[in-house]
A and B are shown apart, each in its own frame.
Chain A
Amino acid sequence: MSPLLSARGLELRFGRIAALDGVDLDIWPGEVVAIVGESGSGKTTLLRVLSGLAAPDAGSVIFDGQDVLGMNEAARRHLMRTQWGFVHQNPRDGLRMGVSAGGNIGERLMATGARHYGNIRAAAADWLRRVEIDPERLDALPRTFSGGMQQRLQIARTLVTHPRLVFMDEPTGGLDVSVQARLLDLIRALVAELGLSVLLVTHDIAAARLLAHRILVMRHGQVVEQGLTDRVLDDPQHPYTQLLVTSVLAA
């Protein structure tokens, strides 16, 4: 077996600031990897580079044998449609707000070749159920949904095509605490059931503990510590990881 996604020697500078400073990363099939760190640590930049949204100054990103950084825009879009999924922090960035809930899910299916209207509608209804939205809301517009529902709809839209690798950028970021737990549990169950590989960017240590098999801790564009999730969180070695872990309030 080989890694699904493999990055080596990523460098990216914004003026004098190193956003990525020698980052290596592998994601294996079925593995959930969390990148944690505070704002400005470089974790969102890393996500953008790995998914081909931003070009690094140096380094390589290989997905399933394909050079992500060297491919043209059409090839990258094809990858994004068929093999990858992206869950944005703000559901408005991942949904089409003027299209019905069912349309949002069906659109992604059609982009991968589905054509039969009845099947697409049935699949959309099934996915609404899986993300705990009443299928009666199939024809409702996302703007009539609560924030938590919008985020669940974005997850349905992303997972309906069974992507092999899903990028998640602070998926619970903008939600009320009571809504976060439900969403985290839903993501946890779906990821296990579908055997997805996930790259999760979060500043929420508890979310990382719940979802991730492995954690990378980033600071100033560098991975300062990485390893098995419970080992990094329970026996942190780097001063910055110790600070992150001890800064979390226990409920």
Chain B
Amino acid sequence: MKTPGNTSGAKVGNLINVTSGAASATNDYQTPTIGSNANANATAAAAYDSLTDSVYFMITNNGYGKYSDPSLPVELSGFETE
């Protein structure tokens, strides 16, 4: 990103299911704090691991890791077709 970041540290990841096209704050998942550095370029990335129901986060200047929860909503795959 061209613009310097406005962040004071990376801390939260929200996992939102949008199979139905909607998103709800009640679907939020929080991670432990990943890092405490200012994200000078304010960028990050995330990926979902369908093999282990996990998510990977990478916050520039802070860290990267793997997180999981047994209740991750993979069951919703059939929602749109019901």
Do the two chains belong together in a single complex? no
